[in-house]
Amino acid sequence: MKSLDPQSRWTLWLMSAFVAFGPLSTDMYLPALPSLVAYFDTTLPAVQWTLSAYLIGFAVFHLLCGPMADRFGRKPILLGGIALFTIACVGCALSETVESLVFWRFIQGISACVGPTLGRAMARDIYGPTQAAKALGYMAAIMAIAPVIAPLLGGWMLTFTGWQAIFWSLAGYGLVALITVWLVLPETLPKPTQFKLSVILANYRFLLGHRHFVISTLGIATMYSGAFAFISGSSFVLIDFMGVPPEHFGWWFMLIVAGYMGGSLFTARLAHRLDPVQTMIGGAVLAASSAGIMAVLGAIGWHHPLAVVLPMVFYTAAVGSTMPQAMSVALAPFADMAATASALLGFLQMGTAALAGAFVGSHLDGTAIPMALTMMSGGLVAAGGFWLLRSASDNKRFVE
């Protein structure tokens, strides 16, 4: 079968589909988290480790995944990652202890990281430094279909079958993705690089010394950590504390994802007209303000799903509008090692999110306040970092 044209809309859809491994792997089983405490006869922190272990695996493998893709090509690494993802989903479905589920979630995280890492790198390969933000915005909007559908499907499966069906369905998704990538995905690597430890370490040192990369990545990591703080605590707050039925959890989550889709489409359609840094600063300020409102509503005792969901809609809109711009700024100067830069970005993003998720999991008190304060902190740190990139002279160097 003939490979797709790299710049066709079908390639964009396909890249979005495997980028969606991340949200599918987390959002689909969110409604099941409270019930897993009783199923495994364990504690809430132990169940929270099924999220944190996934993120740790997701973060750590970035450091190897990117350099391998820069040396051997995007497609072979994707195929290997998707195959391992499918196996890990089967392992999760067959788990009989929480420790086993934590282990297979770690393996699932390792394998799922190839999707977003190489999706960002392929966008940089195909569209170049100036159009990558637009492509990433469209990919984010398309990808947002996954977290709209995932909690609804997860809640339905939990009600009518069991939590294991969630992972069996993910295994099926992985198998379809594996066959599709093998048959039609084009290779986009422009020029292979060396795969030596000394070269890899030198590349990472270079990236960590690049001001735009470091500051943009810090903003991405802290804003995403806020979003993951919500993911980590939302099912316990909404289902256990506020009494939302598991099968209805997805409908509330759909409103939140609609905000993310709106922010992503805003960037995709207007990215070429907007100053990237001003957009990033505005998004970070909106995120911090939204989280602050959520914290205030919790503090005054308004414990209704709308007190959590409405502020979160604006927070995710801010994330959706900011992250494509920030990712484009972070990756723009690195045409020869786009996957390595994307991998380091992903490692720092997901590693920070894992810490935020663990913090929220250990401080949950039933209310939305712990996760709201974590989100607000992420927005404020991002806004401060983006402010350092505000000068016009810096903007000119983003695409050098």
pLDDT at residue 399 in the model: 45
Nearest to 66 by CA among 118, 115, 106: 118
Mean predicted confidence (pLDDT) in 2-30 = 72
Least-confidence region, from 7-16, 254-263, 381-390: 7-16
pLDDT at residue 102 in the model: 94
Least-confidence region, from 79-83, 130-134, 329-333, 384-388: 130-134
DSSP string, 52-91: HHHHHHHHHHHHHHHHHHHHH-HHHHHHHHHHHHHHHHHH
* Higher-pLDDT residue of 157, 108: 108
First to last CA, the chain: 38
pLDDT at residue 383 in the model: 92
Least-confidence region, from 78-87, 239-248, 314-323: 239-248
* Higher-pLDDT residue of 119, 107: 107
Please, what is the Cα angle at 167 between 46 and 183, to 5 degrees? 135
Which amino acid appears at position 4 of this protein? L
Q: What is the pLDDT of residues 297-355, one digit of tens each?
A: 988 888 888 898 899 999 989 988 888 888 878 877 787 777 778 778 888 888 888 78
Task: Please say if the pLDDT value at position 56 is more than 50.
Answer: yes
Q: What is the pLDDT of residues 272-298, one digit of tens each?
A: 677 778 888 989 999 999 999 999 998
With beta carbons less than 8 A apart as the criterion, state whether 332 and 398 touch: yes
What domains sit in the chain, N to C, each tagged with a CATH number? 9-395 (1.20.1250.20)
What CA–CA distance (Å, rounded) separates 163 from 31? 9
Mean pLDDT of all residues in the chain?
81
CB neighbour list of residue 176: distance below 8 Å, 6 or more residues apart: none
Percent of the chain with pLDDT over 90: 20
Which amino acid appears at position 160 of this protein? F
Prediction pTM value: 0.69
DSSP state of 6: T
Nearest to 368 by CA among 208, 258, 236: 236
Nearest to 266 by CA among 317, 329, 326: 317
* Higher-pLDDT residue of 37, 257: 37
Q: What is the pLDDT of residues 130-173, one digit of tens each?
A: 666 667 666 766 666 666 677 777 777 887 788 899 999 999 98
325: number of CA atoms within 13 Å, CB side? 31
Integer angstrom CA distances of residue 272 from 131, 137, 278, 279, 349: 8, 11, 13, 12, 25
pLDDT at residue 327 in the model: 82
What CA–CA distance (Å, rounded) separates 155 from 163? 9
pLDDT at residue 323 in the model: 84
pLDDT band for position 255 (cuts 50, 70, 90): confident
pLDDT at residue 193 in the model: 73
pLDDT at residue 140 in the model: 66
Nearest to 107 by CA among 74, 67, 58: 58
What CA–CA distance (Å, rounded) separates 328 from 344? 14
Task: Please say if the pLDDT value at position 391 is more than 70.
Answer: no
- Torsion, Cα 249 172 137 346, to 10 degrees, reads 90
CB atoms closer than 10 angstroms to residue 136: 29
